[in-house]
Amino acid sequence: MDADHEKTPLLVGDEDVLHGDTASNVATVSSWVGTTYLMPILGAAVADSCWGKYTTVLAGLSIALVSMAMITASATLPSLRLPPCGQSADCVPATLSQELVFFTGIYLCALGIGGAKAVLIAFGPEQLDGGGENERKASYFIWYYAVANVGMLTAGTLLVWVEDKVSWGFGYGLCASFVAVAVAVFTATAPMYRTLPPAPAGSPLKGVLQVLVVAFSHKAKLTLPDDPTEALFF
């Protein structure tokens, strides 16, 4: 595929702002996307074992707000943003501090948004009870995914255009302002929510990890008996 038509905002930002090459940009995007998809597992485990859903969502959104502020600063402040290459093929490479701020920001964003995403989906149905509960839950999921897809479509078209044609700092600042509004509204409406404690049994991930630990630390060194019937009690 033509790389010019398959660029994400992160890839374009790394190339235009930090002057990275195409190969390193693709590797960066792949690592970031993979981290984002793994974080819901961590968020769900923390919600089920320690904090509960509301606190986990609020913590995730707060981390995302800090991360967006860092990314906005990376694209705005002269000390953190490199001068444009222009027509010159000799681009100044990014310094360690510039890369540190940018990459810390994007991975904190993966941690915050990814960790809160799965928990937020489950937090909504907990607020619905009474008559017609199943229908209301079905309506909730329909509207949730509809709004989520509209948001992704907007981010992949309109927001990319703003960042590319207007200003990267303005585009990232716009995202940061949306997250700030989400944190403020979610905090202000806390008394309205039904907040349930963590599950008594904890996260199902805990049981999976226990099985793996036992399998690799104890069972791996055992030998199978000669009589197959004895393996049932092994």
Residue 223 is assigned to a structural domain of this protein:
no
> pLDDT digits over 54-91, tens only?
999 999 999 999 999 999 998 888 888 776 665 545 66
Instruction: Tell whether the model's pLDDT for residue 7 goes beyond 50.
Output: no
Residue 123 is assigned to a structural domain of this protein:
yes
Domain span at residue 196?
3-202
| Host H or E run for residue 33 | helix 22-46
Question: What percentage of the chain exceeds 70 in pLDDT?
Answer: 70
Q: What is the reported pLDDT for 180?
A: 96
Residue 217 is assigned to a structural domain of this protein:
no
CA distance 112 to 31: 16
User: Region 189-202: what's the mean pLDDT?
Assistant: 80
Residue 181 is assigned to a structural domain of this protein:
yes
Q: Contact 178/42 with Cβ under 8 angstroms?
A: no
Residue 178 is assigned to a structural domain of this protein:
yes
Number of domains in the chain: 1
Residue 112 is assigned to a structural domain of this protein:
yes
Least reliable range by pLDDT among 1-5, 119-123, 154-158, 163-167? 1-5
CA angle 22, 27, 33 (to 5 degrees): 125
User: Region 207-216: what's the mean pLDDT?
Assistant: 64
Residue 154 is assigned to a structural domain of this protein:
yes
**Which is nearest to 172 in space by CA: 106, 116, 114?**
106
Q: Write the CATH number for 162.
A: 1.20.1250.20
